[in-house]
Amino acid sequence: MKIAILSRKSSLYSTRRLVESAKLRGHQVEVINHSKCYMVMERENPAVYIGTRLIQDVDAIIPRIGASVTFYGSAVIRQFEMQKVFTTVSSLALIRSRDKLRSLQIMTKAGVDIPKTAFADHSSDIDYLIQQVGGPPVIIKLLEGTQGLGVVLAETQNAAKSVLEAFYGLQANILVQEYIKEAGGADVRAFVVDGKVVASMKRQSKKGDFRSNLHRGGEGKAIELSEQEIEMAEKAAKAMSLPICGVDMLQSQRGPLIIEVNSSPGLEGIEGATKVDIAGKIIEYVERNYQKSHEDKKDKIGL
């Protein structure tokens, strides 16, 4: 099988591990910088080029699309989808997952539990927004923030109002979310492959910070999830149409609360903490589902 990994850097840990795992299983694999691709569209001939080379005869793609290039990356995925190339994340699922507000709306409709969240576009609603999520302390999030950036803990009413007024003044889109005190500055990352949780770790924030992201200095260790946590993680992945994803949740007194579903989760932290060969499981998923999609195509044309 010829597999293309869409990644801006072949030296990244996740990209390297996927390449190693694909080669180990006998596949031809290439890392393609999606940000340097360009697309040509004409009737019944959706083409993808990098430089002067036409990218062709690809059986499957594994997108590793950073948040800063979501729009362009999703367009590249869509071009491959038009060629009937199997992809581990669809262009639509990628776009949905990067929109925090849309993600929460989709998940709540599907019965996924989340921290109570409010959204408004008017500074006159500030007091009521804070009241709706249980009062201070509250979490304030920029919709465009990633890896813990653009996330603020406002511990008092005045602090929350000041932060919200500042963000509104900058015409930023923000969410106000209840603070889950009992989580103790930690969250849980469940890694889902083929719709099932295959590994999980607890991420603890560093001293003096409430954000548990590993990029912000948090520490991760392997953890065994409860049946309820596994069920909620898999339910969130299904709601977001992401068979491969990282599901982040808080452990609260009322059960697991999903805070985000990451469509391009990093492998380094969770493989290091759990010692699970997640890259290998992803390649196995590609093999199973590429074969299935290939057989479906044959059935449709009567072969």
Does the structure show a pLDDT above 90 at 209? no
| CATH number where 247 lies | 3.30.470.20
Q: Mark which of 179, 202, 223 sits at the end of a domain.
A: 179
| CATH number where 62 lies | 3.40.50.20
pTM for the whole structure = 0.87
Are the C-beta atoms of 223 and 200 separated by less than 8 Å?
yes
| Mean local confidence (pLDDT), 177-189 | 90
Residues composing the chain: 303
Number of domains in the chain: 3
- The share of the chain scoring above pLDDT 70, in percent, equals 89
Are the C-beta atoms of 215 and 156 separated by less than 8 Å?
no
127 within a domain of the structure (yes/no): yes
Please state, as a whole number, how many other Cβ atoms lie within 10 Å of the Cβ of residue 295: 11
Are the C-beta atoms of 279 and 21 separated by less than 8 Å?
yes
Residues 187 and 174 in one domain: no
Whether cis (ω within 30° of 0) applies to the bond prior to 46 is no
In the prediction, which pLDDT does 107 show? 97
Residues 7 and 71 in one domain: yes
CB burial readout 91-114, b (16+ within 10 A) else e: bebbbbbbebeebbebbeeeebbb
pLDDT, tens digit (0-9, with 9 covering 90-100), for 148-162: 567 888 889 889 888
Q: How confident is the model at residue 301 (pLDDT cuts 50, 70, 90)?
A: very low
Does the structure show a pLDDT above 50 at 64? yes
Containing structural domain, residue 39: 2-89
Q: Looking at per-residue confidence, does 164 or 34 come out higher? A: 34
pLDDT, tens digit (0-9, with 9 covering 90-100), for 46-55: 999 999 999 9
Residues 152 and 82 in one domain: no
In the prediction, which pLDDT does 261 show? 96
Out of 170-174, 240-244, 259-263, pick the least confident: 170-174
Residues 6 and 85 in one domain: yes
